[in-house]
Structure 1
Amino acid sequence: MNFEQIAAGQIASAVAILLAAYFIRGITGFGSGLVSVPLLALFLPLQFVVPLILLLDFTASIVIGGLHFKRVKWDEIGILVPFGVIGVIAGTTLLVKLPTEPMLYALAGFVFVFALRSVLNLHGDKLISRGWAVPAALTGGTVGALFGTGGPPYVIYLNHRIRDKSDLRATFSALFFTEGLTRIASFLIVGLLLSREIWIAYFAALPIMLGALYLGGRVHVGLSQTQMTRLVGVLLLVSSVSLLFKAMNV
Structure 2
Amino acid sequence: MHVLVGAAAAVSLAASSLWEHPGLWAIAGAIVFVAFYVRAVIGFGSGLISVALLTLFFPIKEVVPVVLLLDLLGSVLLGAYDFREIHWPELGWLVPGSLLGLLVGAFILADSDAQDLTRFLGVFILAYVAYATLLKPERLPRLSLPWGVPLGTFGGIIGSLYGGGGPPIVAYLQMRHLDKRAFRATFQGIALTDNIVRGLMYFFLALLTGPLALGFLALAPASLLGLWAGNHLHLRINQKLFLRATLVVLAIVGIKYLV
Provide the TM-score with structure 2 as the length reference: 0.87
Corresponding letter in the other structure for 2:250: L
Aligned length in residues: 244
1: CA distance, partners of 2:200 / 2:52: 23
2: CA distance, partners of 1:30 / 1:151: 7
Unaligned runs of 5+ in 1: 246-250
The within-5 A match list for 1:146-165 is: 146-165=161-180
Residue by residue over 1:151-174, the C-alpha shift from the partner in whole angstroms, topping out at 9 and shown as x without a partner, is 111111112114210111111112
CA offset at residue 125 of structure 1? Answer: 5.2
CA offset at residue 84 of structure 1? Answer: 1.6
CA offset at residue 7 of structure 1? Answer: 3.9
Aligned to 1:219: 233
Q: In angstroms, what is the RMSD of aligned CA positions?
A: 1.9
Corresponding letter in the other structure for 1:143: I
Aligned to 1:75: 89
Of 129, 142, 147 in structure 2, the residue corresponding to residue 127 of structure 1 is 142
Aligned to 1:248: none
Deviating more after overlay: 143-152 vs 28-37: 143-152
Compared CA separation, residues 72 and 195, structure 1 to 2 (3 A): same
Compared CA separation, residues 34 and 118, structure 1 to 2 (3 A): farther
- 8 Å Cα contact 2:155-2:166 kept in structure 1: yes
CA offset at residue 96 of structure 1? Answer: 4.0
Of 38, 45, 60 in structure 2, the residue corresponding to residue 24 of structure 1 is 38
Structure 2 counterpart SS, 1:112: helix
Compared CA separation, residues 4 and 13, structure 1 to 2 (3 A): closer
- 8 Å Cα contact 2:108-2:114 kept in structure 1: no
Residue by residue over 1:7-56, the C-alpha shift from the partner in whole angstroms, topping out at 9 and shown as x without a partner, is 44322221211111010011111110011111000110111111111111
Aligned to 1:176: 191
Structure 2 counterpart SS, 1:88: helix
- 8 Å Cα contact 1:119-1:229 kept in structure 2: no
Deviating more after overlay: 207-216 vs 2-11: 2-11
Unaligned runs of 5+ in 2: 1-11
- 8 Å Cα contact 2:30-2:222 kept in structure 1: no
Compared CA separation, residues 106 and 130, structure 1 to 2 (3 A): same
2: CA distance, partners of 1:147 / 1:4: 25
- 8 Å Cα contact 2:148-2:172 kept in structure 1: yes
Percent identical among aligned pairs is: 33
- 8 Å Cα contact 1:121-1:230 kept in structure 2: no
